[in-house]
Amino acid sequence: MSSKKSWHELEVGVVLPPATSVGYKTGGWRVFRPVWDASQCIHCMICVNYCPDMAIPIEKSEQGAVGKGGRVYKGAVRKETNFDYCKGCGICATECPSKCLTMIREEEAEQASCKL
């Protein structure tokens, strides 16, 4: 270095805009896919809090969602898994208290969706 720089003249390091990783889809890692049976769901939010990929979207719902036993669950309700990010670890299916999630092989899900 030819001349000493003071601290405010130093170059800023690499700075990234926030939350850009949402553009990076990790769903392709999946071997198993969680299949959600909404009619058995009690919207307890255990899977949402455990999901390592934040791949279970929820919403605050005034009218609620119909779940297990035909009951209407109000407050925070979960929706279908976001397969853009779900890596298929299966924590949700293991921990679900009402067993509304089952893991199937990804190719089975693919084949089922391609049936004519």
Binding region for another protein (CB under 8 A): 14, 16-26, 29-30, 44-46, 48-58, 60, 75-76, 82, 84-85, 87-91, 93-95, 103
At closest approach, how far in Å is the CB of 3 from another protein? 25
At closest approach, how far in Å is the CB of 81 from another protein? 11
At closest approach, how far in Å is the CB of 40 from another protein? 18
Give the Cα separation of 46 and 35 in Å (integer). Answer: 16
**β 58-66/101-105 pair status:** unpaired
